[in-house]
Amino acid sequence: MAVLKSQHETFAGALGNMREVSPDPQLHDLIPFTAGGMVFAVFADQVEGTAEAKLPALLPDAPPAVLGVVCVRGRMLTVLDPVALLTGEPAEWTETLPRVIALRGDEQLAVAAQERLDTITIASTDIQPATPTGNDENGGGVALGIALYGGEEITVLSVSQLFAAAMHRKERRRRRF
């Protein structure tokens, strides 16, 4: 919990420093997508690509946020439910996922999406830090911030925190000898 709080404070401090240092806001491209009636986004430079109509292979004893594994462009990716990561309650998904957004990185992750929206460009000052809630075990550290664009509230996801958040609720027991 202290780690999550310090990450939130670090992001809030970084946003504050960006606002103080630069009179011209730094622009970011975001890839927005919908899932479970919510709008999410990830930074465009963290996206490897997208794929449509993927049937995930289910993983036994996986946490609720893990929908399964899919193959995208020759890579096996673990698909996460962004709604479950943020709220703790999994979204309703069809057997075949409408869209999968493949993310860059060593963790080989992807997020499920019902619809991928057009890429948007926003200023860093337009991303307000996510406010921690009393239910931080569910969304802790996953939401980097909230951006308002075209009258929509977009939850910007922290790609570096997705895996940790997905596995947070699943404690593996070790056999002790």
How far, CA to CA in Å, does 103 sit from each of 43, 79, 80, 110, 133?
A: 10, 10, 11, 5, 27
Q: With H, G, I as helix, E, B as strand and everything else as coil, classify residue 23.
A: coil
Q: How many CB atoms lie within 10 A of CB 92?
A: 8
Question: What whole-number distance in Å separates Cα of residue 177 and Cα of residue 17?
Answer: 51
Predicted pLDDT of residue 167 = 83
On whether the CB atoms of residues 4 and 130 are closer than 8 A, the answer is: no
Whole-number Å distance between alpha carbons of 144 and 148 = 14
The average pLDDT across 117-123 equals 93
State mean pLDDT over 38-48.
95
Nearest to 113 by CA among 167, 29, 41: 41
In DSSP terms, which residues pair with 78 in a beta bridge?
69, 109
Q: Is 80 exceeded by the pLDDT of residue 66?
A: yes
Picking from 163, 51, 62, the residue whose alpha carbon sits closest to that of residue 96 is: 51
Instruction: Check whether 21 has a pLDDT greater than 60.
Output: no
Measure the CA–CA gap between 70 and 127, rounded to whole angstroms: 31
List, in order of start, the domains of the chain with CATH numbers: 2-168 (2.40.50.180)
Q: Kindly indicate the confidence band of residue 70, based on its pLDDT and cuts at 50, 70 and 90.
A: very high
